[in-house]
């Protein structure tokens, strides 16, 4: 496959590329420093390079142009970025006092069509290349003037349908940006025959599988899961959980389970009890996510008391649980809403 951009390449790969251009290897080391440490956006930014090379610009660096930005009252940053082929993608920076989490997209659009997700309303346009994923982290760092501490693949797209490029991006974030792999999370709604293979590929490509795998359940049973996630019809609940067990056995890492709470639909204590039965036996954690409404669906955000009761029912049954704090609610918090707004979708 032809190389599309320099971003995403390691220092050794950049040295090789420089020598292929008839340049000394140290030019590759300079490129690495300017790409990752200094965040160069264009060739002319790299002032240590010869003017002739900067003017020639033999290959794109791989940075995306910013189309729009929104800053919520709580400090959450939402960016809409342009791709070279005229598409757009979202990324989000979520700051707290001690950390900065970047929520990255792995695809433009998504084919999974989850009913509660704005991104799925548009379908899939294409998967993102490694440089387009890494660029999201660099752009948030640049705009917020702060080093990201965590990355979550929870933006647009299904990461396991782009696992090759996702793993390449994770390798780059860890190796070239110095991020701890344990601070990276890959979230999936579940794709048949991919979870054990993801663990095997991570061991083969990265030497380890230290990132966190988060599996989106969103229902305590197959029937409701199919209602919320149409693609679940091809992936029975028990098979999904069995694949999670295989992933744990291969990787040695626990699995986290995500569960969007939809008001008066999947948020009763009885359903919490059923969910606890499903995840019994896992060294796992359940992350509860109160729903952020989108215009296309009539799902409701759950009442705080029901969220608390659901979490309590899980804890009573020995399940480790946390409730994700909602961020950016005044700026179209749900994934994909900013992009749809720009395209005229409602």
Active-site amino acid positions = 90, 335
As given in the structure block, the two tokens for residue 282 are 């896992």
Q: Which are the contacts of 178, defined by CB distance < 8 A and separation ≥ 6?
A: none
Provide the sign of the torsion angle of the four alpha carbons 288, 290, 292, 295, taken in this order. positive
Is there a contact between 144 and 98 (Cβ–Cβ < 8 Å)?
no
Q: Which are the contacts of 262, defined by CB distance < 8 A and separation ≥ 6?
A: 116, 228, 291, 299, 300, 302
Q: Distances in Å between the alpha carbon of 24 and those of 30, 44, 104? A: 11, 19, 35
DSSP 284: -
As given in the structure block, the two tokens for residue 291 are 């729903």
User: d(Cα 305, Cα 332) in Å, to the nearest integer?
Assistant: 24
Q: Which are the contacts of 6, defined by CB distance < 8 A and separation ≥ 6?
A: 14, 17, 31, 35, 59, 60, 61, 62, 131
For 35-83, give the DSSP string: IIIS---SGGG-TTS-HHHHHH--S---PPEEEEEEE-TTS-EEEEEE-
Q: Which are the contacts of 168, defined by CB distance < 8 A and separation ≥ 6?
A: 8, 130, 205
Is there a contact between 166 and 153 (Cβ–Cβ < 8 Å)?
yes
């Amino acid at each position: 496959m032809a190389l599309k951009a320099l971003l995403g390449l390691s220092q050794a790969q950049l040295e090789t590329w420089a020598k292929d251009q008839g340049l000394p290897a140290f030019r590759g080391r300079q490129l690495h420093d300017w790409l990752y440490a200094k965040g160069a956006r264009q060739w002319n930014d790299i002032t240590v390079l010869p003017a002739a090379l900067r003017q020639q610009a033999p290959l794109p660096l791989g940075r995306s142009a910013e189309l729009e930005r929104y800053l919520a009252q709580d400090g959450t940053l939402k960016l809409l970025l342009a791709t070279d082929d005229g598409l757009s993608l979202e990324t989000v920076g979520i700051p707290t006092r001690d950390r900065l989490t970047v929520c990255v997209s792995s695809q433009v659009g998504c084919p999974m069509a989850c009913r509660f997700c704005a991104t799925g309303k548009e379908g899939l346009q294409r998967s993102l290349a490694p440089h387009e994923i890494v660029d999201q982290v660099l752009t948030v760092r640049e705009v917020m003037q702060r080093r990201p501490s965590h990355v979550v693949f929870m933006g647009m797209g299904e990461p396991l349908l782009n696992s090759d490029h996702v793993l390449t991006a994770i390798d780059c974030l860890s190796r070239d940006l110095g991020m701890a792999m344990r601070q990276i999370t890959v979230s999936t709604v579940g794709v048949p025959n991919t979870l054990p293979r993801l663990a095997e590929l991570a061991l083969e490509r990265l030497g380890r599988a230290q990132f966190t795998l988060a599996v989106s359940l969103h229902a305590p049973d197959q029937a409701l899961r199919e209602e919320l996630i149409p693609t679940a019809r091809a992936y029975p609940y028990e098979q999904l959980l069995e694949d999670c067990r295989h992933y744990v056995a291969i990787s040695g890492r626990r699995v986290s389970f995500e569960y969007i709470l939809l008001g008066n639909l999947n948020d009763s204590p009885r359903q919490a009890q059923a969910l606890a039965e499903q995840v019994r036996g896992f060294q796992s954690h359940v992350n509860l996510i109160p729903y952020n409404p989108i215009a296309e669906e009539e799902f409701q955000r759950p009442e705080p008391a029901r969220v608390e009761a659901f979490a309590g029912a899980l804890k009573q049954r020995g399940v480790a649980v946390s409730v994700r704090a909602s961020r950016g609610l005044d700026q179209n918090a749900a994934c994909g809403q900013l992009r749809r707004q720009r395209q005229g979708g409602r």
